[in-house]
């Protein structure tokens, strides 16, 4: 593909057509990473040029509940895309997706190859940034004129982002995103389930990669001070841990899921079968996102706080 522009898929396309488009428009991510290194914010702006909202989206025919759920997801994608934009370029997202945006505070400078960060790790973050740009543009295209603008975001909700805690905070948001979409997808119908399921798949790829890195770099500062129990769905994170010994490794997976816990034992949701990724309700997700500290989620009924100092945009705003 000669262009660096992001390919936005037509929401009305059939699955076969989507697969053909995906094959025909395969993007060379290495070119994307190189472009970021050469042109910085200019590359970011160019990627989103021409990504207009699609007013003829099928969302309108599916009712307000569909729109509300996808707008809730869009808030999370705004947060993730903004974080990875600053981590990789030191700049905000382009104006083409930030019209009427709330203020961005606590933004970090672009990360550099300084221990414990390697070039391979930065390449991974660029890859994730590329996907998050696509997710924001794709959701805005599906929602058309119903898409909410980006809310005010405080990227330093869990403290100033540094080279030693950036990956932990990124992993926290990715793990949260996976559990959020696993819950939100149950509120969708028709083709929207397919669309969000594909985004969930990409989020799971990102989460797994960041979990592995966090295991490999024991010097990374945890994003949170205390790992709360996940049985109520409100714990901030699933902490990956290295089994540490050949004996334990040879014994195989434990009831708690080894070093990549999904569910089972102390890390399971009470309603989730062992071995199945758990899901959070929208209200549980907001309690985590609105948490103003790194110790406990926000109280039930909160309207704002944490990463969203003025709350999220749309009709779903209360935890």
> Would you state the structure tokens that stand for residue 204, as one six-digit string?
């799971």
Question: According to the model, what pLDDT value does residue 186 have?
Answer: 84
Helix (H, G, I), strand (E, B) or coil at 93: coil
pLDDT of residue 253: 55
At 77 the pLDDT is 98
Q: What is the pLDDT of residues 56-98, one digit of tens each?
A: 333 333 445 889 999 999 999 999 999 999 999 999 999 989 9
**What SS3 string covers 247-273?**
HHHHHCCCCCCCCCCCCCHHHCCCCCC
Q: What is the C-alpha separation between 131 and 125, in angstroms, rounded?
A: 10
Give the predicted TM-score (pTM) of the model.
0.75
* Per-residue model confidence (pLDDT) at position 233: 59
CA 168 distance to own-chain centroid = 13
What are the structure tokens assigned to 299, written together?
């109280």
Q: Note the pLDDT of residue 212.
A: 81
Cα–Cα nearest to 129, from 50, 32, 49, 267:
32
Beta bridge partners of 308: 305
Q: What is the pLDDT of residue 284?
A: 86
Q: What residues in the chain have per-residue pLDDT under 50?
A: 1-63, 227, 257-260, 264-267
**CA–centroid distance for 223 within its chain:** 15
Residue ranges per structural domain of the chain: 29-48+58-289
Across the chain, the runs of DSSP E, i.e. the strands, are 104-105, 153-154
What pLDDT score was predicted for residue 262?
A: 55
- 178 conformational bin, left if phi > 0, alpha if psi -120 to 50, beta if neither: alpha
Output the pLDDT for position 115: 79
Provide the pLDDT for residue 199.
93
List phi, psi (to 5°) of 286: -65, -30
Q: What is the pLDDT of residues 148-182, one digit of tens each?
A: 999 999 999 988 999 888 988 898 899 889 889 98
């Amino acid at each position: 593909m000669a262009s660096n522009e992001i390919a936005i898929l037509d929401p009305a396309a059939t699955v076969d057509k989507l697969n053909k488009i995906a094959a025909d428009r395969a993007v060379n991510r290495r070119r994307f990473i190189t472009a970021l290194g050469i042109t910085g914010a200019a590359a970011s702006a160019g990627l989103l040029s021409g990504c207009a909202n699609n007013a003829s989206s099928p969302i309108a025919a599916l009712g307000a509940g569909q729109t509300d759920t996808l707008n809730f997801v869009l808030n999370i994608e705004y947060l993730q895309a903004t974080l990875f934009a600053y981590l990789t370029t030191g700049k905000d997202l382009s104006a083409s997706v930030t019209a009427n945006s709330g203020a961005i505070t606590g933004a970090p400078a672009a990360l550099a190859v300084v221990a414990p960060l390697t070039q391979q790790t930065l390449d991974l973050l660029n890859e994730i940034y590329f996907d998050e740009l696509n997710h924001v543009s794709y959701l805005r295209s599906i929602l058309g004129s119903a898409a909410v603008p980006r809310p005010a975001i405080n990227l330093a909700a869990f403290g100033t982002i540094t080279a030693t805690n950036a990956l932990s905070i990124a992993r926290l948001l990715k793990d949260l995103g996976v559990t959020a979409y696993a819950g939100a997808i149950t509120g969708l119908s028709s083709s929207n389930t397919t669309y969000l399921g594909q985004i969930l798949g990409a989020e799971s790829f990102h989460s797994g990669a960041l979990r592995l890195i966090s295991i490999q770099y024991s010097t990374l500062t945890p994003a949170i001070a205390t790992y709360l129990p996940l049985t109520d769905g409100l714990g901030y994170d699933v902490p990956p841990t290295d089994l540490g010994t050949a004996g334990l490794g040879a014994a195989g997976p434990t009831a708690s899921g080894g070093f990549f816990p999904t569910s089972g034992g102390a890390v399971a949701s009470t309603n989730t079968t062992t071995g199945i990724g758990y899901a959070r309700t929208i209200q549980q997700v907001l309690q985590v996102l609105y948490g103003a500290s790194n110790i406990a989620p926000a109280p039930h009924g909160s309207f704002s706080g944490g990463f969203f100092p003025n709350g999220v945009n749309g009709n779903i705003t209360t935890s």
